Structure 1
Amino acid sequence: MITGLYETHIQVSSLENSIKFYTEILGLKLAHKDDTRPIAFLWIGEGKEFMLGLWEQKENLQPRHFAFSSSKEDILNYSADFLKKKDLKPYNFLKDGKDEPMVFAWMPALAIYFNDPDGNQLEFISILEGEGKPELGVLSYEEWMKIH
């Protein structure tokens, strides 16, 4: 019955600023802006594959987390530079001051994090080949490759 996650919604403090961030900085496409209420929908990917809803919330903003699918190569070779060029601060899951992607061994998946202007925690993630190894926790990609 369920074949994937089609859309998610987040709260933002300024709809206009968030539309600009997600379209101009991250490259999503505006699908629809509702003129009767402060909400906009953005396409993620090609062919209307996925959608992000932005809801303007002036008080009691509740930041959320979600992840964008990415290729392993893009995360390893371009993500940190891409984010820095956009004046965004990449960080790893451990928040140890390093901006290199980490591997969640239980999945396994490679990921790097950054925040939007409202503090929503965003992530680029790529599922890696092979079986998960939960006992390894979270480790660097280099450490993961030594094991594989």
Structure 2
Amino acid sequence: MIKGLFETHLNVTNLEQSAHFYEHVLGLPLAHSENTEGRKRRFYWIGEERNQAMLGIWEKAPSEVVRQHFAFQVTLEDLKQSVSYLKAKGIEASNFLDDDKGQLYVFGWMPAVSVYFSDPDGHSLEFLAVLSDSPRPELGMVPWKEWELIHGRTW
């Protein structure tokens, strides 16, 4: 029955600050903005085609903002540039364990390569590209460069 994930929402402490981040740092196109009866929120299209996926951000009191996580699917080519892109925007990137700054890592069980970063409220965000390689769960999480060497490739 379920065919995909259409929409997810995040509570944020400052709508304008978060809107700047999602619009100007990540480049998400604004779908709708609303500020009525104390409800401040914005919705963004995700992906190349509109009406396929959406992110909503809602301004809430700090006590209502709990750190959450989600991943943006990106192409492998875009992921290769993501660390330098984020760094140019003043955003620190790390791996899943937050122990290797600025390095891409592969989850061997998927396999998928990814990098993590945070939004202004500390929500954990991820750029992720699923690889066409066969899963290698026995490898656990490995640096992208190591994964490529195991598969006889370089980039």
Report the TM-score range of the alignment, normalised by the length of the smaller protein.
over 0.9
Deviation per CA, 1:13-37: give whole Å up to 9, x if none. Answer: 0111111110011100111112221
Deviation per CA, 1:96-120: give whole Å up to 9, x if none. Answer: 1431100000000000011001000
Q: State the shift of 1:130 in Å.
A: 2.1
| 2:46 match | 44
RMSD: 1.2
Q: Structure 1 length as normaliser, TM-score?
A: 0.94
SS of alignment partner, residue 40 of structure 1: strand
Q: Does 1:101 align with 2:98?
A: no
Q: State the shift of 1:87 in Å.
A: 0.6
Gaps of 5+ in 1: none
Number of residues of Structure 1 aligned to a counterpart in Structure 2? 147
SS of alignment partner, residue 145 of structure 1: helix
SS of alignment partner, residue 63 of structure 1: coil
| 2:82 match | 79
Please give the alpha-carbon distance, in whole angstroms, between the structure 1 residues aligned to 2:121 and 2:3. 30
| 1:63 match | 67
One-letter amino acid of the structure 2 residue matched with residue 53 of structure 1: G
| 1:111 match | 114
Gaps of 5+ in 2: none
Identical pairs, percent: 48
Q: Structure 2 length as normaliser, TM-score?
A: 0.90
